Each structure stands twice: as structure tokens, then as C-alpha cells.
Structure 1
Amino acid sequence: MTVSANWYDYPQYFDLVFRDENDDEVAFFKKAFEEHSKIPVKRLFEPGCGGGRLIVDMAAEGYEMTGLDISKPSLQYLKKRLKRRGLSAELIHGDMTSFQLEEPVDAAFCTFNTFRHLLTEEEAVKHLFSVASAIRPGGLYILGFHIIPLDADEECTERWKAKHSSTVVSVTLTVRNFNREARRESMRATLTAKRHAKKDGVSKVVKTIRCQTDFDLRLYTVPQVEAMLAKVELFEIAEIYDFDYDIETPRDLDDDLTDALFVLRRV
């Protein structure tokens, strides 16, 4: 049986493809809290949490978690995952650009380009102010997204593949349109999930789900990042890293930095 759908309706497959990143990210978060936070870190917040792969793993580490996302299917999936693991988190259905938490948190994180879904400078700055208002002074916001160099290949395709139990998932991410002047990158994500079952000792595909989703991301150069962060006086840059998640190897904010991981500290 084949089902065609929007990939945002199947967060379990997105999480499966990128679950190999979890251990490195969790280890980095914990080291960054020790290295750069001026306050003890216990309560965490993830805006744009999606299916919650990091919410679950950080909750398992003993942190008190709050997650926010605009996708109801993602939050419903996350709620079930937490229940299966015997974990808890506060889950909020809402917009990344405008929210208020009932209680302040000690740190927040948003990685893997979620931030670039905010398509205007106004939205990006509103988001940063909202997050800053939710963090106690001295706490951190770990923000990861790609910076696009001036010589970037405008025709780019990336592929990932993962397997868990009887399910094999593959994802292809393709740039459909690249407009540096408009600071817009139009993407197409194609996901295929195949579930296998054995019959008479032979593994066969019993269900296939194909998802194709188009979306836009905002483009950033180094000067554009610097100009944006300068507008948010509630944050200072504590340190900069990349997607290697190596706390021993900080990076400079220069043209060689493409996979940027900013550790912002609330002043």
C-alpha cells in the first residue's frame, strides 16, 4: 500500500533520519552549559521542537523541558513518545515569533536550520527577543543554522538514509530556487518510508509512504548575521562553534563559517 502525504504529518520519520545527531548534540549542550552559562541550568526550552528528538533525550538526562511548535501532528507524536518513555515535558502549540512562557528557563536551543524558516528580518528579530525574554539573565540560547557563502553552489541536493527495526527511510533535500537578492532559498523535501515484513522467510515491502513538501528558507551571509544580532541587545555572543559540536574547537565569525552554531548568552 502506498500513501502520499505532507512530511510534516510524519515527524517520526524525520526524527528517525536525524537521530544519529542526538548524542553529539546532547553532549555538546551539557558541556556548553558548564562552559558558558553564568547560572545553573535545569529548565530548558526548544522553540520549533518538531517531533521532539532532543526534547526526549534532554528530558531523559533529567532536565525540565518545554517545547513549542506550530505543527499539531508533531506535538501529538512527541506527547506519545514521552509517555512511552515515562518522561514529561510541557508542550505548547504556538508560533516561534511571538510567545510567552509561564516561567523563565535557564537555557534554550534551536538547531538544524529551524531558525531559517523565519523568512523576514522582523520575524527573526521578534523570535530572538521572545526567546531572550524567556531566559533568565546569564542563561544561554544555542542557535544553529547555515550561513550561505557568496560562492555557494546554488544547485544543491543532499540525501540521508536511516533504518530502524523494519522501517527504512530516505530523504532528499533539493534547492529548487535560489535568490540572494530576496534572501530566499526554495526547497523541496522528498521523503520515502518503507515498512518491511517477512513472509515465508522473505522480506517484502508492505507499506510505503511518500512525502513531498516545498518550503522556503531565509538566506544569511556573515554581515547579515552580525547586523541581525546587533539588533537584539538582550543577547551577547558567548562563543561560536560549528555542526561538529566540538566544545574544544570554537570558530570565528568569518567567511569560512557555514555550519554556524551560536552560543548566545542572556545579558
Structure 2
Amino acid sequence: MSLEQISGHLYDFPKYYDLVFGSDWKAEFDFLKDCFEKFAKRPVKRVFEPACGTGRLMYKLANDGYEVAGNDLNEKAVDFCNERLKRHGHEGTAVVGDMSDFTVKKKYDAAFNLINSFRHLKTEKEAVGHFRCIADALYKGGIFILGIHLNPEDVGDDYEAEEEWSARRGNLQVNTRLWSMNYDPKTRTEQIGFQYDVYTPSKQFSIVDQTVFRCYTRKHMKSLMKKVPELELIETYDFHYDIDDPIEVDADTEDVVYIFRKK
């Protein structure tokens, strides 16, 4: 039986988005803390998340004693994030803002941007702006953790990928399908389709949406890093988030977590 489709941007449904991308929070949370301890050259007390979305990790860090803040362009996601922070006894410190053009009043010890949020930036100017804003927001010796899906260097415009998974919280279940289409290595764009099949005790429906990601290969990332030399690359990992198992990024590597430190 086909489900009724509801139109709208997937980020405008923070409750479902949070469930879909929040199920693996423990591995990411533990990895962030391991990175703070291993790579930062200063005690990490203040943490910033650009493109924070629903704040699925921000409030976990706040519960663990960190001072957190973040920004995101989506007002509904920011409201969801702040309401949850307040519900857990913390200040609502997420603001509506652009991750490629922001300033902070007081610097941070660490920052992180995971699950491809960085690829929403559509131009090289915006990508460089993001790195420079992060560098300006960090104390010397602070670290920046960036998770991104790379495109293999030798793949042509016939590149396709698809992923499906399910997540459940109480009586709410969301089955998710994500697929790649219209990859263009010349324009460095990749159209991504999303489908949420939402099941509750009283209703079932689908949310279908598309977005365009900017594409990065290993070479593109190397070129970008050279433009913001104050952020030094110190280690790379994959999405297994094992602090004791770093990886070497080659031409075929796809899932990468870059660890940078502010010089």
C-alpha cells in the first residue's frame, strides 16, 4: 500500500529528522569526547556546532557538562534544538545563522560539523568562508571535527548510491531511503533524494524531498585546506568512529572524518 505523500522540506520536520539521524548518537558522542581528549591542546569546555540542526549532539554534550552553542539556517530546527536544551535544564544557545558567515563573541575550544552538513555550501567561497569562520571561532590549540562523504576520484557521471535504514522511538517509526542521482563531476554537484516513511499509531505518510550537495573528492579537500592554513589537518577517520583506528584517505575513500587543529 502506497503512503500519502506530504510536501515540504525534510528539515522542516525536525522531530522525524532527529529520529532518522539521531539513532547513532552514542558512537558520535563518544568519538567527539575522545577527540577532545586526544587532539586538543587545551581543555575542552566550550563547544560550537555550525549547522547544528536539531542539536541531537549539542544537548548530550550539555548534559555532560560542556558549554554548547550552534547555528543553523532552519528556524524550525533551531526552535526544536533550543526547546530541548531548555527541557534538559540548559540555556537555549542555538541561533539562526549561516555556517559560512558568522562570528562569535567568545572563542570555543572545539567545533564539529558531521553527517555532510558542510556539503550544503554551494560554492568554494562559502566553503572557504566556513573554514575561516571556524578558525576565527576557535582558541589556538582548539580542534574542528568535520564529517563528510567524498566522491571517488575516478568515478564518472554515472555514479549512483542508495542507502536505506529504519529508526524507532516509542510508537514512532521512520523508514528512510536516501539516493544519489544526477552526479556531475564537472559542476561538482550531486542531487540527493530523501524519503521518510513515517508510521505512528494514528497515521502513516511519506515525506519526499530533494537537495543538491556540492561534491568533494580527496583532491578538492586538499585544495580547500590550503586556503585556510591556520587549520592544520592532524588525523583522519571513517564513520566507524574508532579513535584507535585512523585511516589514510586515498582516491577511493568515501566516508571521512577530518580532524583539524587551530595553529
Query: Residues 153 and 218 of structure 2 are in contact (CA less than 8 Å); yes or no, is this contact kept in structure 1?
Result: no
Deviation at 1:150, TM superposition (A): 3.1
Q: Measure, in 1, the Cα distance between the counterparts of 2:235 and 2:91.
A: 31
Which amino acid in structure 2 is aligned with residue 4 of structure 1? I
**SS of structure 2 residue aligned to 1:59:** helix
Residue-by-residue CA offset, 1:20-74 (whole Å, 9 max, x unaligned) = 2111111111111111111110000000011110111111111100010000000
- 1:96 equivalent in alignment to 2:99: yes
Partner residue, 2:23 = 20
Which range moved further: 51-60 or 13-22?
13-22
Partner residue, 2:159 = 154
* Structure 1: runs of 5+ lacking an equivalent: 197-205
Q: Measure, in 2, the Cα distance between the counterparts of 1:32 and 1:165.
A: 32
Which amino acid in structure 2 is aligned with residue 250 of structure 1? P
Equivalent position to 2:124, from 116, 121, 125: 121
Larger proportion of strand = 1
Partner residue, 1:202 = none
Q: Measure, in 1, the Cα distance between the counterparts of 2:222 and 2:254.
A: 14
Which amino acid in structure 1 is aligned with residue 244 of structure 2? E
After TM superposition, the score normalised by the length of structure 2 is 0.94
Partner residue, 2:6 = 4
Partner residue, 1:241 = 237
Partner residue, 1:261 = 257
Q: Measure, in 1, the Cα distance between the counterparts of 2:205 and 2:44.
A: 40
- 1:216 equivalent in alignment to 2:212: yes
Partner residue, 1:136 = 139
Which range moved further: 34-43 or 256-265?
256-265
Q: Measure, in 1, the Cα distance between the counterparts of 2:180 and 2:150.
A: 15
After TM superposition, the score normalised by the length of structure 1 is 0.92
Partner residue, 2:70 = 67
**SS of structure 2 residue aligned to 1:251:** coil
- Percent identical across equivalent pairs? 37
What root-mean-square deviation, in Å, do the aligned CA atoms of Structure 1 and Structure 2 show?
A: 1.5
**SS of structure 2 residue aligned to 1:126:** helix
Equivalent position to 2:61, from 58, 62, 75: 58
Q: Measure, in 2, the Cα distance between the counterparts of 1:39 and 1:208.
A: 49
Equivalent position to 1:251, from 243, 247, 260: 247
Partner residue, 1:173 = 178
Which range moved further: 1-10 or 143-152?
1-10
Partner residue, 2:198 = 193
**SS of structure 2 residue aligned to 1:92:** strand
User: Structure 2 vs 1, CA of residues 37 and 116 (structure 1 numbering), >3 Å: closer, same or farther?
Assistant: same
Residue-by-residue CA offset, 1:117-159 (whole Å, 9 max, x unaligned) = 1111111001100111000010000001011113556122211
Which amino acid in structure 2 is aligned with residue 190 of structure 1? Q
* Structure 2: runs of 5+ lacking an equivalent: none
Which amino acid in structure 1 is aligned with residue 200 of structure 2? R
